[in-house]
Amino acid sequence: MSLFDHQIIPLPLADNNQQSELVFWPNWLSKQQADSFLETSIQSIPWRHDHIKMFGKQVPVPRLQNWFADHSNTSYTYSGICMQAVKFPQWMAELADSVAEQTNYPFNRALVNYYRNGNDSVDWHADDEPELGEDPIIASISLGVERVFQLRHNSTGEVVSLPLPHGSLLLMGSRIQHFYQHRLAKVKNMQQERVNFTFRYMNNNLDKSSYQ
Ligand SMILES: O=C(O)CCC(=O)C(=O)O
Ligand SMILES: [Mn+2]
């Protein structure tokens, strides 16, 4: 993939003087690579179907997911779900390394989501759990059917919408998690599936969930 095959999308932060950016590689993987990662993910990931407590009831999360890391003695907790990490299989460790090489950021964790159809989704949130450190940098790979990813500024409410095609890579740059939330909305009458990897970094020495 050529270094120049990307788009830089500036995102305002607190005021007009401060901005960050999304870096977007729409065709980061070839169709053949993307097809192969999609099939491997769906077939070989031990998908979890977690439930969260809402209004005193256990509600199924509207997607399947799992949490991967460079070692298995670590976990990740969000919305009351604690996921013990699965160690990166070789292919996912290599994918994390390729993303690191492309973006110049290190990655040693991945939250992987499986959207079985348009009824699966992820609601507005920021990837800002304390385990991710002060300034989480997130790299997202999309596989399968194209879905629209949205970011919404916390104070202005301005929304940026970006369709994420099969094989694309999106980097959410510095401080975006402080100023924006993001989501993947439901889509009516869509039967096709999608898998998304969000690669993240946790300092293994500061990771309190790590007991190795
Ligand atoms: O599926 C996506 O594109 C976004 C997933 C996401 O925001 C997350 O896993 O935290
Ligand atoms: Mn997220």
How confident is the model over 140-181, as pLDDT tens digits? 999 999 999 999 999 999 999 999 999 999 999 999 999 999
Instruction: Give the ligand 1 atom nearest the CA of 111.
Output: 9
Domain count for the chain: 1
Q: Is 50 a member of any domain? A: no
pLDDT in tens, 67-105: 999 999 999 988 888 999 999 999 999 999 999 999 999
Is position 57 within any domain? no
Q: Is residue 210 part of a domain?
A: no
Helix (H, G, I), strand (E, B) or coil at 48: strand
Q: Which pLDDT score, from 0 to 100, does residue 144 have?
A: 98
Residue 149 beta carbon below 6 angstroms from any ligand 1 atom: yes
We report the CATH number of the domain holding residue 187 as 2.60.120.590
Instruction: Establish if 127 belongs to a structural domain.
Output: yes
Q: Which atom of ligand 1 is nearest to the CA of 147?
A: 3
Residue 27 lies in a domain: yes
**Is ligand 1 within 6 A of the CB of residue 139?**
no
Instruction: Please work out, in degrees rounded to the nearest 5, the angle formed at the alpha carbon of residue 114 by the alpha carbons of 80 and 63.
Output: 45
| Residue 22: burial class (beta carbons within 10 Å; 0-12, 13-18, 19+) | buried
Among the atoms of ligand 1, which is closest to the Cα of residue 170? 3
Q: Which two tokens stand for residue 129?
A: 């759990």
pLDDT for res 120: 98
Is 4 inside any structural domain?
Answer: no
CA distance to 43, 166, 174, per residue, from 37 (Å):
10, 10, 28
Residue 56 lies in a domain: no
Q: Kindly identify the ligand whose nearest atom is closest to the C-alpha of 112.
A: 1
pTM for the model? 0.95
Print the domain residue range for 38: 21-43+62-195
- 74 falls within a domain: yes
